[in-house]
């Protein structure tokens, strides 16, 4: 196999030569002194974990303060929802005292935060049920839909992004661009209604509403979350495809790809083995962002498919003024976002070790 001059190192000291097919690794991971980097070290991962853990604690504190402050400004009265609109004033005052709503807001927050650190999220103001138990029941429903939605979005986005970057005909690229634009423009609730009408009401292939736990029936669980996951994940396909297409198109224009193609290496092998990995960095970051987007819009899909998940629980808590339930849902969402961002940062560091210098 012939050897080619390392184009990324020029102007560099003479004698820097690399095999064309391995140039992606050498060129993209070379340090300032020309030493190749094979990947992030354990110390890098530990430092990233420590940094993100400190940031996560600060984020959770800020989110809890904001959620508690906004819930305190709500005109909703949980004692009215608990007793009814016709309850006497004496009973309302008694319930407010029992719930601690007549105390200063600072004292209420300190008490809730101390219990939350110990794993006790309190009890619902309205139903008097454990918030942690309620979240434990609702969370698997939402996480199942979001996880499957991200898997669908990544699979379709990867296929569309690679196809668009490798398409030789302008008409093919335009068709793919129009398709991704239409998919991104369709609202999730409207797409959900279309899916229910077609696959549930007309064809009868999948259930229209409801949720079946995986512990009861795995096939039934997949059938119950398939349509909501498609409605939730399909709009994210366009964002992932566009990001991957742009990054991969830039990699295909690099010298190491042209040199490898000129020397007879299979183009698809170069793309899948080297160029795609170098282009995955921006795609990984957009995937993490899409997880956050899905968590913020899942309540709409839950309403369409009548699935009582975390989004529905949080929305009901807002309308009822149920502060402990709302805080529990918000903190659960914030914790999920922190974990997702941590995995994204670790994955990006592994894909692109140059970031460890930053």
The answer to the question of residue 10 being in a domain is no
- Quick check: is 3 in a domain? no
* pLDDT tens figures, 121-145: 888 888 888 888 899 999 999 999 9
- What is the domain-level CATH number for residue 304? 1.10.3720.10
Pick from 51-60, 87-96, 106-115, 292-301 the range whose average pLDDT is largest: 292-301
Percentage above 90 pLDDT, the chain:
7
- Tell me how many degrees the CA angle 246-251-252 measures, rounded to the nearest 5: 100
Q: What is the mean pLDDT of the chain?
A: 77
Domain contains 294 = yes
Q: For residue 256, is it within any domain?
A: yes
| Chain segment 35-93, per-residue pLDDT in tens | 444 445 556 667 767 877 788 888 888 888 888 888 777 766 676 666 666 666 777 67
Query: In this structure, is residue 19 part of a structural domain?
Result: no
**308 belongs to a structural domain:** yes
pLDDT at position 18 is: 41
Give the residue numbers spanning the domain of 312. 48-77+107-357
Alpha-carbon distance of 87 to 91, in angstroms, equals 7
Q: How many domains does the chain have?
A: 1
pTM: 0.75
pLDDT at 148 over 90: yes
pLDDT of 33 strictly over 50:
no
């Amino acid at each position: 196999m012939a050897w080619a001059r390392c184009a990324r190192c020029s102007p560099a000291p003479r004698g820097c030569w690399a095999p064309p097919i391995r140039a992606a690794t050498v060129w993209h991971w070379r340090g300032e002194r020309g030493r190749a980097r094979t990947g992030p070290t354990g110390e890098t991962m530990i430092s990233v974990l420590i940094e993100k853990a400190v940031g996560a604690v600060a984020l959770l504190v800020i989110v809890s303060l904001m959620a508690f402050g906004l819930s305190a400004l709500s005109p909703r009265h949980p004692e009215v929802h608990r007793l009814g609109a016709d309850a006497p004033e004496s009973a309302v005052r008694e319930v407010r005292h029992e719930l601690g709503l007549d105390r200063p807001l600072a004292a209420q927050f300190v008490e809730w935060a101390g219990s939350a650190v110990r794993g006790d999220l309190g009890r619902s103001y309205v139903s008097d049920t454990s918030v942690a138990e309620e979240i434990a029941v609702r969370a698997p429903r939402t996480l199942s839909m979001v996880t499957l939605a991200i898997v669908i979005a990544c699979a379709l986005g990867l296929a569309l992004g690679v196809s668009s970057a490798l398409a030789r005909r302008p008409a093919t690229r335009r068709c793919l661009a129009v398709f991704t634009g239409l998919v991104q423009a369709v609202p999730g609730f409207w797409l959900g209604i279309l899916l229910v009408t077609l696959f549930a009401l007309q064809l009868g292939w999948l259930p229209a509403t409801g949720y079946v736990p995986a512990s009861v029936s795995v096939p039934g669980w997949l059938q119950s979350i398939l349509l909501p996951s498609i409605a939730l994940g399909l709009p994210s396909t366009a964002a992932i495809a566009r990001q991957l297409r742009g990054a991969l198109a830039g990699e295909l224009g690099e010298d190491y790809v042209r040199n490898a193609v000129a020397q007879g290496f299979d183009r698809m092998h170069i793309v899948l083995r080297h160029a795609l990995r170098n282009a995955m960095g921006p795609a990984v970051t957009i995937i993490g962002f899409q997880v956050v987007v899905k968590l913020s819009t899942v309540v709409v899909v839950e309403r369409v498919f009548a699935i009582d998940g975390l989004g529905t629980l949080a929305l009901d808590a807002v309308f009822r003024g149920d502060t402990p339930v709302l805080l529990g849902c918000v903190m659960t969402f914030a914790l999920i976002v922190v974990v997702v961002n941590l995995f994204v940062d670790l994955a990006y560091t592994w894909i692109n070790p140059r970031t460890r210098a930053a």
